[in-house]
Amino acid sequence: MPPSRATLIEVATLAGTSKTSVSRFFGPERDKLSPALCARIERAAHTLGYRPNLMARGLKGGGSRLLGMLVADIRNPFSVALVHGVEQAARAQGYSLIVCNTDNDPVLEQTQLATLAAYQVEGLIINASGQPEAPLQALMHSGVPLVLLDREVNQLKADVIGLDNAQAIDMALEHLVLQGYRSVLYVSESPTQASTRQARLIRFEQQARPRGLTSRTLLLNSLEPDAVLPTLKAFAQSAGPAAVLCGNGNVTLALARGFQRLGLAMGPVGLMGIDELDWCALIAPGITTLAQPTDAIGRAAVTCLLNQLKSTTPATVLHRHAPRLCPRGSTQLSSFTPEESNNP
């Protein structure tokens, strides 16, 4: 038979203290213990190989020290970066993170929300794939605090942490105008279920013409290269220096493939994307992007959630974060060598 797990009482006995003190050491009241006592408990737990049962503690009302995170698409590099930022921030505050992926499926989203609730998480960070207003309202009414990440949910009064989408579009258009482009094609995945896509599309339609740009939009239901080729080919042949602005990283990848299929040179036909991806600096002549500060967004989301948990004077939280421009050769009308233009 496998050896039995060490118990809280065994740790207390070895450390020469009470069960209550050991419980405090592994909970949110560690600061009530003296440094010497903390050191004894830590040595005893290490000697016995003790690990606290977070689920049991949560069921007893002691707090599970678990945060839940719902991600719309874990395969999206942007989502991976967000998870990393949230996990780092949670760990720094003594919390562990449980991540559930929904694959942009609203039905699976409902199931995953129920799963996270069953794990007695102390708070939720939601990157919604649909509009799960009813289950999120029910969770909030039951006392589970939550923060929305990147995407809003209609009729839900909750903090939303993410990119300043209006500023991102403004920065992109300003950059393209300064580089000499006069026509811009904005390409986005269907904005139906994502408030972020809606906000970027609306801002583009509002701001392109006042900047003297001829503008078009292409909304994709598929990211296969064939879905973009006809429009991309016609646009590249239009009068005036033309550039393509991609609404997110997935679209940037689809358009980069489209450029390759058509043999279009990046630069003479501009290509720019929202979201910085590692490969954007590697494809000659380098793809210009707007990088999202995912670590800062993750920290803000965790801080906002913990403010709700502690119900104390909230720390200042920035809800909308500015992107960072990464200019490369894909938005240079003049020619560059690969050595020059691949530099981020």
Q: Say if residue 142 is exposed, middle or buried (CB neighbours under 10 Å; 0-12, 13-18, 19+).
A: exposed
In this predicted structure, what is the pLDDT of residue 119? 81
Q: Does domain 66-163+295-321 have CATH number 3.40.50.2300?
A: yes
For 187-227, how does the pLDDT look when each residue is reduced to its tens digit (9 = 90+)?
999 888 788 899 999 999 999 999 999 999 999 988 887 88
For 91-111, how does the pLDDT look when each residue is reduced to its tens digit (9 = 90+)?
988 899 999 999 988 889 889
Question: Which is more confident, 186 or 240?
Answer: 186
Q: Please, which residues have CB within 8 angstroms of residue 154's CB and are 6 or more apart in sequence?
A: 131, 133
Pick the CATH number of 165-291+324-341 from 3.30.565.10, 3.40.50.2300, 3.30.420.80, 3.40.50.1580: 3.40.50.2300
What is the percentage of the chain residues whose pLDDT exceeds 70?
91
Most confident of 155-164, 297-306, 320-329: 320-329
**Residue 2: pLDDT above 50?**
no
DSSP, collapsed to helix, strand or coil, labels residue 343 as coil
Cβ atoms of 67 and 305 within 8 Å: the answer is: yes
pTM reported for the whole predicted model: 0.78
Q: CA-based Rg of the chain, rounded to a whole angstrom? A: 25
User: Which of 296, 320, 110 is closest to 200 using CA atoms?
Assistant: 320
The CATH 3.40.50.2300 domain(s) of the chain lie at 66-163+295-321, 165-291+324-341
Average pLDDT, the chain: 87
- In angstroms, the first-to-last Cα distance of the chain is 57
User: Which of 231, 323, 224 is closest to 269 using CA atoms?
Assistant: 231
Q: Please, which residues have CB within 8 angstroms of residue 55's CB and are 6 or more apart in sequence?
A: 64, 119, 120
Cα distance between residue 70 and residue 116, in whole Å:
9
Q: Take residue 288 and report the two structure tokens written for it.
A: 């210009």
